[in-house]
Amino acid sequence: MNEAGRFAALTLEAVERRYGSGETTVEVLTGASLALYPGQSVALIAPSGAGKSTLLHLAGLLEHPSAGEITVAGSPTSTMTDDQRTGLRRSQIGFVYQFHHLLPEFSALENLVMPQMIAGLSRAEATTRGRELLAYLGLAKRESHRPAELSGGEQQRVAIARAVSNSPRILLADEPTGNLDPKTASHVFDTLASLVKATGLAALIATHNMDLAARMDRRVTIRDGQVAEVG
C-alpha cells in the first residue's frame, strides 16, 4: 500500500477486537483499517469508550487482534511469536503517554540513555544521541535534572525524546498533551510535529484537543468499530 509513492510504516487491515465471550462480549473494533505513512502525523479523535486505547495497543503490538492483520515496517505480525513481536515493537515503535512515566531517580539524559543501552548501543553512543535529542528539543540545559526538577512541559518533551531514542519508524501517543495547560500543550505539540517531519516518523496521536488535531496532517475517528477519516 502506498500514498504518493511511499510505503506505509504501519497498516491495520480489517482488524477486529472483542473482549469477553458469550452474552458479555464487547465488540470494540469490527473491521478497522488504517495506514500510517512516514513523516505524517494523524490525529485520532473519538469519544471516550470508542476504542482509541484499544487501537493504540493493537497498533503497538501490546495486544493481539481477534481477527485481521497488523503490518509494521513491512512485516505482517499475525503469525509472529511473542518474542518476534516484542523485538519489532522495541526497534520500530515509540510510545508517549498522557503522564510521562520517566524514571524518577534518573536524570533526563539517563532516561534517554537506558533504553538505547537495552537495545544494544554502548553508553558513549547512547549518551551522544541522548544529548543530541535533548538539544533538539530545547532541553540541553536540563540533561542532568531529574523529572521532579522539570516543568510538566519539559517532562513531556523528555518523554517524547525517550520514545524516539531508538529511532523507531512509528510513534504512538495517547493524549500526550492532555495533562498540560493550553500554551504548554501547543509548545509540546510543535516539538512533536517538527520531530515527525525531521525524522520521517509516522505518528498516530490520540487527542481531545481539536486545535492540535487541526494542525496534524490527517484526522481519523472510530465509528461503529471502524476507522473513518474526518475533515
Beta-strand relationship, 6-7 and 2-3:
antiparallel
Nearer to ligand ADP by Cβ, of 57 and 131: the residue is: 57
- CA angle centred on 224, ends 218 and 229, rounded to 5°: 15
Nearer to ligand ADP by Cβ, of 63 and 114: the residue is: 63
Nearer to ligand ADP by Cβ, of 29 and 188: the residue is: 29
DSSP string, 205-220: EE-S-HHHHHTSSEEE
Bridge partners, 70 (sequence order): 12
Nearer to ligand ADP by Cβ, of 158 and 213: the residue is: 213
Evaluate whether 43 touches 219 at the Cβ level (below 8 Å): yes
Residues lying near ligand ADP in the complex (CB under 6 A) are found at 19-20, 26, 28, 46, 48-54
User: Cβ of residue 164: shortest distance to ligand ADP, in angstroms?
Assistant: 23
User: Cβ of residue 63: shortest distance to ligand ADP, in angstroms?
Assistant: 9
User: Cβ of residue 58: shortest distance to ligand ADP, in angstroms?
Assistant: 9
For residue 53 the three cell numbers come to: 486505547
User: Cβ of residue 14: shortest distance to ligand ADP, in angstroms?
Assistant: 18
- Helix axis angle for 152-163 and 182-199, nearest 10°, is 20
